[in-house]
Structure formats: C-alpha cells, structure tokens
Amino acid sequence: MKDFMTSFVEEASALLSHLEIDLLTLEKEPENKEVLNNIFRVMHTLKGTAGMCGFINIQDLAHEFEGIFDQIREGKLVINSEIIDFTLKGKDVILAILKNENSENFNNALIESLHEMSQVGSLHEMNETSDKPLKELTGLSVFAIFFSPDKAIFERGLDPDKTVAELKDSGKSNIILHENKQSWKVQKTQKICLTTWEIYLSSTALLNEIEENFLFYEPDEYRIYDISSGAEQVPPELLARLQKLYNKPDVKEHLRECLIPLNVEASKAITQLPENTDEKLPEGFPSNTSTEGEMTINVSSVKLDELMNLVSELVTQTAILEARATYLKDPGLNNAAENLEKLTKRFRTNALDLRLVPVGALLSRFKRQVRDLSKKLNKHVNFFIEGQDIEIDKTILKSVENPLVHIIRNSIDHGIEFPEERIQVGKKKDGLLKISAFNAGVIVIIQVQDDGRGIDLEKVREAAIKKGYIQQDQAIMDNDLINLILEPGFTTSDNISLVSGRGVGMDVVRKELNAVGGTIEIFTEKNLGTTITLKLPTTLTIIDTLMIEVNQSIVLIPMLDIEFCYKEKSKEILKRDNKYIQYKNKPIPFVSLREKFRYPANDANDIMVIILNKFDKSYAIIADRIIGEYQAVIKPLGDLFNSQPYFSGGSIMVDGKLALILDTSFLFTQITKN
Amino acid sequence: MEETSINKKISYINFKIGSENFAINVFKVLEILQLEELTHIPNSSDFVLGVLNFRGSIVPVIDMHKRFNTKTQADCNKMIIIVDADNSEKKVLMGLFVDEVTDVIEFDYKSIRTVPDLGIRYNPEFLEGFVENDNKFIMVLNTDRVLSISELSEVSMAAAI
C-alpha cells in the first residue's frame, strides 16, 4: 500500500508539472484544443487516482476543475486569466496536499470559489452567433479523417475497404485515395496496403462514434479532426489544405453543407506521394502534436555513482590488460584487448551521459515565476527560452536553480521598466526577458538577458564608496565596478522591495555557482539592458585536466583555468622576497606547490610555471614538471578530508594509482588575500 | 529459543598494532591488503597515512599506530584492513594500517570484558573491551569510536594554511 501511495504521489507530481506548462500554453493560445484536452484529462486522471488513494480533498478539487474545463471544451466558458490563475493556485494546493503540508483551509476556500465560478459559467456564454460552432447551427458535424493503415493490415484480418465503406454509410462524404506506387486494386490482390485515405465526412454522428469505426486499428494509423466545431480548432495546416481542396476562401461556411465539389487539381497534386514509404502521410498534413516526452525512469544517484565507480575500475583494468598484452606480443590477445578498450570507452561515455539532463526541464519552470511576478508588479514581460535541449549534469542544474530565480527576479523587478516608462523612452511596451542555453566547448553557458534599464553604474559607484570598497575619485573600470555587486552585502538600494533584495544578494549567487565550478559575468548598458552569463561545467564527474608532478606525486589542474605554461631555467624566482612574476607586462602573484605542500626543495634546475586564470585574474603556480593532458573522472576524497582545502577531489589513473585535483578557487582566494 | 543461538560465537580478525593484539568483527572487514604505495595528501591530519584506490573508490588509510600511541614493529608483514566504518546510513570505507594480520578467532560476544581505565596509554573508549584467548589478551576494537571522522579529520586550520 505504501508503495502504491508513493507511486501515486510521484505520478501526480509529474502530472501537475505538465499541467502547469499546459496551463501557461493555454493562456497564450486559448484555442489550442489539444492542450485543453490534456488539462481536462489530467484533472480526470487525478480525480480517479486520488479517490482510489484516499485523497478526498484532491478528488474534490480535481472534480471541480474537471467540470470547469469540460465547460470550456463545450464552449460554455471562455478561458480568461482568472481561470488560469485559479487553476494554477489549485495545482499548488494539490501539490501541497501531496507533500503533506497543511492546506486544509486554503483548499476549502478554493473549492468554494471554484464552485461559484462554474455556476456563473453559463453567463459567460458567447454572444455573437457567427462564432457559434457549426454543429449547433446545422446539427451536423464535419470530420476530416486521415486513414493510413499499416502495410501488413491484411495479416491482422482487417479490410480497410470495409472500414471506409462504413464511414461512407454514416453520412455524406468526399474521399480522396492516395495510392502509393501501385493502384489500390493491385495492392489489394498482393495483400499489401500502401494507400492513405483522406476523407471529409459530414454526419450527425459524434466524434466518438466515428472513432468506433477504428476500434481495431492502431492509434497511429488514423487521425480524426472534428472541423465543424469552430474553425479556430482546426490545425492551420489542415485549414490551408481545405482551402486548397475546396478552392473557396471561407471553407468553414461551405463545409456546413458538405460537400462542395473538390478542386480536382489540388487533390491530384497531393496524390503524387513522395517516394519515401515510411512517411505515409503526404506533406502538409497535420502532424500529431503529442507533447508526451521520452520515456524516462528515475534512478537513485547512489546507483549511478556505483555504476561510475565500476566503469572507472573497468577502464583501469582494461589499461592494465592492454599493457600486459603489448608486453606479451600475442596478436590475438592484443586484438582482444584493443576491442575491449574501445568498448570500455563507449561504455564510459554512455555511463557519463546518464547523469546529464536537458536544461529545459528547469528553464520551463521559470515561465510560471515570470508570469506571476510580472503580473504582481504590473509589468509586461515577454519571456523566451532557447536551447532547452542542451544537456548538463543534474547536480549542476539543480544548483543553478536558486541563482537563476534570483537573477530573473532582479531582471523583472529592477531591470524591466513599467509599460509607461518604456513607451516614454521609445521602447516597446512589453519588456523582453530571454534565457538561452548553449554549449561552448566543455562548458555550458546559460544567459539571462533583459532589455530593461540596465544597472546604474553611478549608483553602484556611490554604494561602493559608501561601503568602502573603493575610494572617492578612484578610477575603476566599469567591468570591475560592476563585479562589486557580487561582493557580500552589496546593495544599491536602501529600501528593500518585496520581491527582491531580501538581504541575500548576488554574492550568494556567485557562491552557489562557484561551488559547482561555475562562474558569473555581468554585462550591462544603460537603457539597453543587462546580460548575465553563467558558465558551468557540463559534468561534475569528468573534467579535462593538465597532469603535473610535484615531489613525485601527481596533481591535476582543471584545464579550464589554465592560461599559459612555460619552463623557467633558473630557480631564482623562488628565492625572491616578493612573490610576483611578470606576465604580459603585469606582475602576478605566484605560489610554489612544493612550499605550499611542505615538500622539501628539489635539486633539479628547471621548474614549470603554470599561469592560471580565475575570475578574470591571473596567478601562477610552480611545479616540478608537466606530464600531459588527462581526462579525469572525479571522485570525492571523502568526509575525512573536508577540512583540507587544497584538493577538490581525486582521480584514478590508468595504472590504478591516485592523483589529486587541485582546487584552483581556494588557492586563488588564499593568494589574493595575502 | 535455544541456548546455542544466544551464545553464538562470532568471528574476529586478529591483528597486531605494535606489540599488542587487537581484534575486529569480521562483518566490518571487506578485504585485507598488503601495504602498498599510498598517495599522500598534503596538509591532512597526522592520523591519515594517505589514500588508496579500492575498487574504484578513494579510501583513506589510517595509521593505527598513531591512534594507539605506539610504533610499528620492524620485522612484520604490514597490512591494510579495509573496513566499512558505517557511520549511520552512509557507507564509509577506511583502511587500517596495522603491523600484521595473524588469524581469525572465534569467541562469544559475552566473553568480552571491560577495559580498566588505568594502565593503558590510549583512550579506552577506542575499545569495546578485551578477551583472553590462547593465553593472550586481545583488544576488541570499537570501530565507530576509533574511526570517528570528526576526530580523524581534525587538522588545525593554522596547519592547513
């Protein structure tokens, strides 16, 4: 029973998150019948399963919503933002109930107001007769049916001819036969079906009665559209096709009488089907706009980590086997070892892939936030999301959620102006907010752009002077100035608004990003807007590194941070009092790793200088020698080493030995502090 | 219930730290390895000898001699016992650097006697007690206590920086 409950909660949560997306889509496209049906279906499913699991509250709530959306489907209620608001709230309440939060009172109040709404529903009836669905005017429905049975339909004991004949009997019809390569008659004798039927039928039958004719066919073998219940529900592709077929501008009007003569040319034109037999429906036919995602399963991260462990162990063992095979010079063994290595590499890539999720899963959740927030602040915001398919490690994606919430809040609250203000400065009334994600080499970039008023650098300067970050009259680059807002406790406004600026600022954003190895950059231009760029590693578990040696132990440095390396012939610099070297005509601080790790000084004359770049500043580290590049699978060092700050993790090398990964951020803060 | 099920004997791994005999419950032990080359972690706690790769995980190796305030013996077969230190739900693997693993012994849990506070040069809390076996005193390890992470990871920040 408990399992049943958990699976219900999980399932319901998933349904609800889909519901939210659907509601927001519906608000934008009120005529989208598909989405409307989805919402209705979700409510219906919720009602049923909630009742079964004893969530009576949810059952009641879903029941009310089901009623409302049924009325909308029937055209008795018109979608407005009030309904969307209510439903979104209802969704939150259901979620709260699922999470066992106390929401009893809210819930009852909501049910009551919902009830009222469905009562007054009838008052919302549409007043213009011309908009009344055709069905009501004529008592006839018109259907467009695309029927494309499987090639081997005869083997399933079905005869498409009979099905079509039954359809014909139920009303008046126009049927276009799209024969493919061979005529239907020939196909029939060969027991192959390559034909598609395009049927326009006017009938007193209801949609589900027509659907019954296709009871034995697979869902992808036929599509039925009720095109009589108001042309706005007809997919645009289909409408275009109808106009072409019937050669009348106002198809809707004529379809009622069903069925004016077809435009023979047009129907012929499409009869020339493309050669491709996979694609049975000719181009221009409405495609199935199902929004169902790929099938996914939830796996605990512990299991994934275990898998990663095993994979890296396999990589190590494969390398050992390969070395042995090379040593033995046995061609058969060599071959086998090589094949195993290839396979192992693929296996590793695959296993790493498992941790990646598309960023869209997170980004689309902000739609709701943007909508609610802009409404609350009386601002008009057009919100766009780009690059939803870009994949990133789930842990990293999770850690950018809060930073993004904060950044978006700032953009809407401080960045985007009120409509009147925007018009005054010659901008469009609706502000623009865009989140885009894209890949750049080994990193993923998430950018938040707005076309608001930008960050006021003068104000930042004032505040910086007040807080003592800079001196009065101190010359400072705009870039450095703007980075000051990432400092702890920095704020330009004295009064804290309700929406943003609750004491936690951009410094928290930076901290959270740094924790997963990400960085933040701000670019702003007065009156043109602000762009905030987050640079994130694609994965936490694998990084490209430079392998160096210090006192015979291997240290790995994330490649991302490395700017330049060179060999220094003399160790003179180590003896200097000031720990600075010249790089690009600028003095930069350096640190010797031997010194830092308390290893004895070495005898060799050559030392390697590695210039690192962190947060747009350079510093150098000194090592014994550079070994090469290495793609490291990062492993945690474990709780025991939490208090040592120099290494962020370790990695197992091909020979089974361990290497340590240098924490470049910590070293940076330490060097710059001194 | 039968008498025997209560008096059930448990197997213990018997090993040496310095000259003294110790025992650890066999259920805690995953593997016993020869002492191999370890990776040293700079600026880590004195108790930590280094880390090794055990079945794809990074496992710290604890110098038990430091923990029990003694020195390693010259002529012995140095070993690492990999144990699951099992702190609540989390699986925590650690290696114990010991002088020699001698054998597996069996005894009744009830025969473990408390250690007197006096006369030993280490924290008596590190032990569950001792047993007499074959005319030897064998100290039974309290792994939770002796492998406490908060204690082992203690490095003064001054030393780290």
Residues A558 and A657 in one domain: yes
Mean pLDDT of A95-109: 64
CB contact under 8 A, B161 and A670: yes
The answer on pLDDT for A313 being more than 90 is: no
- Integer Cα distance of A639 and A641 in angstroms: 5
Q: Closest to B44 (Cβ–Cβ): which among A313, A636, A641?
A: A641
Residues A524 and A593 in one domain: no
Residues A111 and A38 in one domain: yes
Tell me whether B39 touches chain A (CB under 8 Å): yes
Please report residues of A whose CB lies closer than 8 A to that of B56: 309-310, 312-313, 316, 635, 652
**Pick from A327-336, B4-13, B50-59: least confident:** B4-13
Q: Closest to A640 (Cβ–Cβ): which among B48, B52, B53?
A: B48
Residues A149 and A238 in one domain: yes
pLDDT of residue A497: 44
pLDDT of residue A139: 60
Please report residues of A whose CB lies closer than 8 A to that of B156: none
Tell me whether B91 touches chain A (CB under 8 Å): no
- Integer Cα distance of A318 and A261 in angstroms: 72
CB contact under 8 A, B37 and A657: yes
Tokens representing residue A664 in the block: 């470049």
**Interface test with chain A among B55, B57, B61, by most A beta carbons within 10 Å:** B57
Please report residues of A whose CB lies closer than 8 A to that of B39: 553, 650, 657-660
CB contact under 8 A, A640 and B94: yes
The answer on pLDDT for A181 being more than 80 is: no
Q: Are A141 and A205 in contact (CB under 8 A)?
A: yes
Residue A143 included in any domain: yes
Tell me whether B37 touches chain A (CB under 8 Å): yes
* Closest chain B C-alpha to A657 CA, distance in angstroms: 7
CATH number at residue A599: 2.30.30.40
pLDDT of residue A112: 63
The 3-class secondary structure across B53-84, one letter per residue, is: EECCEEEEEEEHHHHCCCCCCCCCCCEEEEEE
Amino acid letter at A637? L
Residues A246 and A329 in one domain: no
Architecture, CATH, for domain B10-160: Beta Barrel (2.40)
The candidate with the shortest Cα–Cα distance to A396, out of A349, A434, A362, is A362
Which of A61-75, A215-229, B146-160 has the highest mean predicted lDDT (pLDDT)? A61-75
- Integer Cα distance of A603 and A557 in angstroms: 24
Residues 525-564 of A with CB under 8 A from B: 553
Tokens representing residue A571 in the block: 């160790």
Tokens representing residue A276 in the block: 């491709």
CB contact under 8 A, B58 and A670: no
The answer on pLDDT for A437 being more than 50 is: yes
Residue A137 included in any domain: yes
* Closest chain B C-alpha to A639 CA, distance in angstroms: 7
Tell me whether A636 touches chain B (CB under 8 Å): yes
Give percent above pLDDT 90 in chain B.
9
pLDDT of residue A435: 93
Strands A625-633 and A443-450: unpaired
**Interface test with chain A among B37, B38, B43, by most A beta carbons within 10 Å:** B43
Q: Closest to A635 (Cβ–Cβ): which among B58, B92, B154?
A: B58
| Alpha helix stretches (DSSP H) within A54-183 | 56-73, 81-98, 104-120, 134-138, 160-169
CB contact under 8 A, A646 and B59: no
The answer on pLDDT for B155 being more than 70 is: no
CB contact under 8 A, B41 and A641: yes
Amino acid letter at A183? S
Give percent above pLDDT 70 in chain A.
80
Q: Are A281 and A146 in contact (CB under 8 A)?
A: yes
- Integer Cα distance of A445 and A538 in angstroms: 9
Please report residues of A whose CB lies closer than 8 A to that of B94: 640
Please report residues of B whose CB lies closer than 8 A to that of A316: 53, 56
**Annotated domain spans of chain B:** 10-160
Please report residues of A whose CB lies closer than 8 A to that of B52: 658
Residues A423 and A499 in one domain: yes
Residue A280 included in any domain: no
Give strand pairing partners of A450.
Answer: A433, A530
Tell me whether B69 touches chain A (CB under 8 Å): no
Tell me whether A580 touches chain B (CB under 8 Å): no
Tell me whether B101 touches chain A (CB under 8 Å): no
Please report residues of B whose CB lies closer than 8 A to that of A643: 45, 153-155, 157, 160
Which of A185-194, A249-258, A586-595 has the highest mean predicted lDDT (pLDDT)? A586-595
The answer on pLDDT for B28 being more than 80 is: yes
Would the CA dihedral through A121, A127, A133, A134 be positive or negative? positive
Pick the more confident residue, B8 or A392: A392
Residues A533 and A546 in one domain: no
DSSP 8-state class, residue A278? S
Residues A204 and A112 in one domain: no
CB contact under 8 A, A643 and B152: no
Residues A63 and A184 in one domain: no
- Token pair 């599509």 is found at A223
- Token pair 């958990």 is found at A6
The answer on pLDDT for B149 being more than 70 is: yes
Q: Closest to B51 (Cβ–Cβ): which among A596, A643, A650?
A: A650
Residue A228 included in any domain: yes
CB contact under 8 A, B41 and A316: no
* Closest chain B C-alpha to A338 CA, distance in angstroms: 22
Mean pLDDT of B37-64: 85
- Token pair 């905030």 is found at A532
* Closest chain B C-alpha to A313 CA, distance in angstroms: 5
Tell me whether A596 touches chain B (CB under 8 Å): yes
Tell me whether A661 touches chain B (CB under 8 Å): no
pLDDT of residue A140: 67
Of the residues A125, A150, A179, which one is the last residue of a structural domain? A125
The answer on pLDDT for B160 being more than 50 is: no
pLDDT of residue B3: 47
Digit-coded pLDDT (tens) for A458-508: 888 888 888 777 887 777 777 778 888 887 767 655 444 444 443 457 777
The 3-class secondary structure across A593-604, one letter per residue, is: HHHHCCCCCCCC
Q: How far is CA A535 from the centre of its chain?
A: 17
Please report residues of A whose CB lies closer than 8 A to that of B53: 316, 652, 656-658
Query: Cβ contacts of residue B29 below 8 Å, gap of 6+?
Result: B13, B81, B82, B83
Give percent above pLDDT 90 in chain A.
3
Q: Closest to A637 (Cβ–Cβ): which among B40, B58, B160?
A: B58
Q: What mean pLDDT is reported for chain A?
A: 76
Mean pLDDT of B144-151: 77
Mean pLDDT of A533-539: 84
Strands B136-141 and B20-25: parallel
Residues A600 and A530 in one domain: no
CATH number at residue A461: 3.30.565.10
pLDDT of residue A556: 92
**Interface test with chain A among B40, B58, B146, B155, by most A beta carbons within 10 Å:** B58
Which of A128-142, A457-471, B3-17 has the highest mean predicted lDDT (pLDDT)? A457-471
The answer on pLDDT for A156 being more than 90 is: no
* Closest chain B C-alpha to A305 CA, distance in angstroms: 10
- Integer Cα distance of A232 and A539 in angstroms: 45
- Count contacts between A and B (CB, < 8 Å): 83
CB contact under 8 A, A644 and B39: no
Q: How many domains does chain A have?
A: 5
CB contact under 8 A, B155 and A643: yes
Please report residues of B whose CB lies closer than 8 A to that of A639: 92, 149, 153
Tokens representing residue A414 in the block: 């401080």
Domain that holds residue A641: 542-673
* Closest chain B C-alpha to A578 CA, distance in angstroms: 19
Of the residues A335, A355, A375, which one is the last residue of a structural domain? A355
Pick the more confident residue, A7 or B156: A7
Which of A40-44, A572-576, B13-17 has the highest mean predicted lDDT (pLDDT)? B13-17
Residues A564 and A510 in one domain: no
Query: Cβ contacts of residue A497 below 8 Å, gap of 6+?
Result: A413
pLDDT of residue A127: 36
Q: Closest to A553 (Cβ–Cβ): which among B39, B153, B154?
A: B39
Residues A432 and A488 in one domain: yes
- Integer Cα distance of A636 and A80 in angstroms: 52
- Integer Cα distance of A460 and A483 in angstroms: 10
The answer on pLDDT for A673 being more than 70 is: no
CB contact under 8 A, A638 and B60: yes
Q: Which residue of B has its CA nearest to A651?
A: B58
CB contact under 8 A, A660 and B59: no
Query: Cβ contacts of residue A276 below 8 Å, gap of 6+?
Result: none
Query: Cβ contacts of residue A340 below 8 Å, gap of 6+?
Result: A318, A321, A322
Digit-coded pLDDT (tens) for A600-613: 877 777 888 899 88
Pick the more confident residue, B40 or A115: B40
Digit-coded pLDDT (tens) for A24-78: 888 888 888 888 888 888 888 888 777 777 777 788 888 888 888 888 887 777 7
Tell me whether B35 touches chain A (CB under 8 Å): no
Mean pLDDT of A346-374: 84
- Integer Cα distance of A562 and A621 in angstroms: 10
Helix (H) or strand (E) holding A530: strand A529-537
Measured from the Cβ of residue A389, the count of other Cβ atoms closer than 10 Å reads 9
**Pick from A96-105, A364-373, A462-471, A498-507: least confident:** A498-507
pLDDT of residue A434: 92
Tell me whether A641 touches chain B (CB under 8 Å): yes
Of the residues A355, A376, A393, which one is the last residue of a structural domain? A355
Mean pLDDT of A520-532: 88
Tell me whether A477 touches chain B (CB under 8 Å): no
Digit-coded pLDDT (tens) for A265-293: 444 444 333 333 333 344 334 434 334 44
- Token pair 């200097």 is found at A576
Instruction: Please state whether the predicted TM-score (pTM) of the whole model is above 0.80.
Output: no
Digit-coded pLDDT (tens) for B108-135: 878 888 877 766 777 777 888 888 887 8
Measured from the Cβ of residue B122, the count of other Cβ atoms closer than 10 Å reads 15
Q: Are A106 and A220 in contact (CB under 8 A)?
A: no
Residue A291 included in any domain: no
Tell me whether B158 touches chain A (CB under 8 Å): no
